[in-house]
Structure 1
Amino acid sequence: MSAAHHKDPPPPAPLLTAYRPAGEGLGGAAVTGGEVPEGTIWLDLLHPDAAMRGAASMWLGAPIPSHEDLAEIEFSSRLYAEGGTHYMTADVLAHADSPNPVLTPFTFILHGNRLVTVRTETPKAIPQFLARVSRPGNAPETAGETCLGLLEAITDRTADVLEHLSARIDTLHREVFVRRKDVRRRGRRLAAAVENIGREADLIAKVRESLVSQERLASFAGAVLAPPKGDHRTGAPLRERFKLLMRDIRSLEDHAGFLAGKTTFLLDATLGLISVEQNEVVRVLTVVAMAFFPPTLIGTVYGMNFDVMPELAWPWGYPLALLAMAASAVLPLAWFKHKGWL
């Protein structure tokens, strides 16, 4: 398709969803006209426009940052408190199962018992979390529990991504190191393996960056939602959950580091095997060229236009010349085979 006819896909429509305890689960409804339902504890903003941010800001009692603000990479711009409102942003992995995974900023804004999340993508952790809290007995009762539940869902989804990554890297390992009978296509398989390894290495790098961001956010959120000197009845369970969350994130960081090292080794090994394949081709070509050099020399000699060449008048001169050329080719090949060079 020509560039003149190429059109970028239209941006997704802004969406503002309010969640509140409903029965034994957490029910959500789209907000229209800026009217936030009574009892809402969580507002989720997807691709928010100015009107949507204004409605959420009035409900929360604090300003909502723009997308440009969310894209800031400075640590001080991602985790801070302002007027009793806590702003926390982490890079979350989205589209991990697609050829183009991305890191997208995911912002939590806490003010009292009200939570606002601002995002531009829909990581798979969000529908997984909503499916869990919609079941009886799993609904969070406060904005803090909702925030913690979302963080746990994001971490669980990261663990799933690493598990799938590990399985794919094991498959690549077998593809690279297991020799097959069809050696003619081995070079193509190795070249394809390099491309696949590069893709997996990029995903691992994104996962590690996301985990570092999640750890910072979880540490900040734990100090806000479950301070050490807070209410023992409500704070102790949250503190335990935050401790478990931090342990999970750190263990995932270790596992991601292990996979990164394994991928680096696999890439180095694959490039080494490709070099060996290329050297093998050059070696065979060199041996063949050397084997056929003597017959070429003999043929060149008898192609000379000298008047005195007694062999040209012999009755068996021509067969003897052919025999000499054949022997001069076969004997070097036999010698190379004996030496193991072929």
Structure 2
Amino acid sequence: MRDYNSELSKKTGMPPGTLIHVGDKRVEEPKLTLVEYNGDNLEVHVSQDIDIIKDLEFAEDRKIWINVDGLHQTELIESLGKLFGVHPIVLEDILNTNQRPKTESYEDYIYVTIRTLFYERLENTVNSDQISIILGNNFILSFQEMETDLFKKIRQRMERPAGIIRKRGVDYLTYSLIDSIVDNYYLLLEDIGEEIERLEDELINEPSPATLQNIHELKREMIILRRSLWPLRETIASLQRDESGLIKESTDIYLRDLYDHSIQVIETVETYREMLSGMLDLYLSTVSNRMNEVMKVLTIIATIFIPLTFIAGIYGMNFEYMPELKWEWGYPAVMIFMATMAVIMLYYFKKKTWL
């Protein structure tokens, strides 16, 4: 994940509500997607100009969903905020892409910010994008850092006239958007789980310094992942407790199910963190055991050669009067004795299961 510390310095000394984009430029030009719908009709308009929204007359019996891909043009975000009466503080939070997941209730709308996460297997990192959602009386505004396929299936479901999204209010569409983000977490955790299994196999079969580095990198990403997901539970709970009337009672049951999913995601993250911590201990134990095996073999070899070296040292002292030096069978006798001693020691070590 990217570091925002240097980017936050842009806002130093600025008054509250100052609109400055904090984050990366993810798209060349922002794209607006306007969806007007009810039970009978569905109209989709795509443009890079906010005039497409200003020129439309919104019918009271139709619901509106405006999605913005790309946040670096602050003028566009400011114009949308004025058009729908969004407070500058909220617009400032939308442009500051370092927000933690949260839900804030205002007089006429609810502001929700949540993070979508993607696992880059080749780089062994987790990338994060901020998604902001504003739920009004008859409209939804959603803001993404870049264009993704995250809401593609929701748009496909909206094309069916008999679909539940077309029949229900914008609060149900808000639930659907958040549910799509949470479902994406399962895909992320599945990819991370496969990587953890691969590291476990590598750790048991042939651990290396690269294995340790991969474990450390993944453990660091899990810490950042936990920080992004831990507030998710309270974010959804705040939607359940909202008393503004924008969340209908019929949507509460879906939010409860979404709350359960958020708990499952958080528990899975905690499980993976514990597994990675255990893998670090396993790596150290494996390396220590391998070192012990090497040292055991070297110690046995050295122990066998100690008496052999002692015997060779005795007959290498070059004294003139040593009886065995003049003996015809002295050399083969000494060699046989040394070999026999080595065999006896090997048998003893094996019997003691030291070998």
TM-score range, shorter chain: 0.7 to 0.9
Helix, strand or coil at the partner of 1:91: strand
TM-score w.r.t. length of structure 1: 0.76
After TM superposition, give the deviation of residue 268 of structure 1 in Å. 2.7
Contact map agreement 1:25 1:134 (CA 8 A) in 2: yes
Size of the aligned set, in residue pairs, is 317
Alignment of 1:1-342 (within 5 A): 12-21=27-36, 27=44, 29-32=46-49, 34-36=51-53, 38=56, 39=58, 40-62=64-86, 63=88, 64-65=91-92, 69-72=96-99, 78-82=102-106, 84-95=108-119, 97=121, 99-121=124-146, 125-136=150-161, 137=163, 139-140=165-166, 142-170=169-197, 172-173=199-200, 176=203, 186=205, 188-189=206-207, 193-224=211-242, 227=243, 230=245, 235-342=248-355
| Structure-2 change in CA distance of 1:254 and 1:309 (3 Å) | same
Point out where structure 1 has 5 or more consecutive residues left out of the alignment.
1-8, 178-185
After TM superposition, give the deviation of residue 192 of structure 1 in Å. 5.4
| Structure-2 change in CA distance of 1:277 and 1:25 (3 Å) | farther
Cα distance in 1 for partners of 2:245, 2:233 equals 22
Contact map agreement 2:308 2:338 (CA 8 A) in 1: yes
After TM superposition, give the deviation of residue 290 of structure 1 in Å. 1.0
Cα distance in 2 for partners of 1:244, 1:297 equals 79
TM-score w.r.t. length of structure 2: 0.74
Identity of aligned residues (%): 21
Cα distance in 1 for partners of 2:188, 2:304 equals 55
Contact map agreement 1:94 1:124 (CA 8 A) in 2: no
Cα distance in 1 for partners of 2:250, 2:346 equals 79
Deviations 1:174-206 (A, max 9, x none): 5555xxxxxxxx4x3465554454455445444
Helix, strand or coil at the partner of 2:125: coil
After TM superposition, give the deviation of residue 215 of structure 1 in Å. 1.8
Deviations 1:106-137 (A, max 9, x none): 22233433332233255663445444445552
Cα distance in 2 for partners of 1:154, 1:223 equals 21
| Structure-2 change in CA distance of 1:176 and 1:164 (3 Å) | same
RMSD of aligned alpha carbons = 3.4
Which deviates further from its counterpart, 210-219 or 32-41? Answer: 32-41
Contact map agreement 1:106 1:118 (CA 8 A) in 2: yes
| Structure-2 change in CA distance of 1:104 and 1:236 (3 Å) | same
Contact map agreement 1:215 1:249 (CA 8 A) in 2: yes
After TM superposition, give the deviation of residue 52 of structure 1 in Å. 2.1
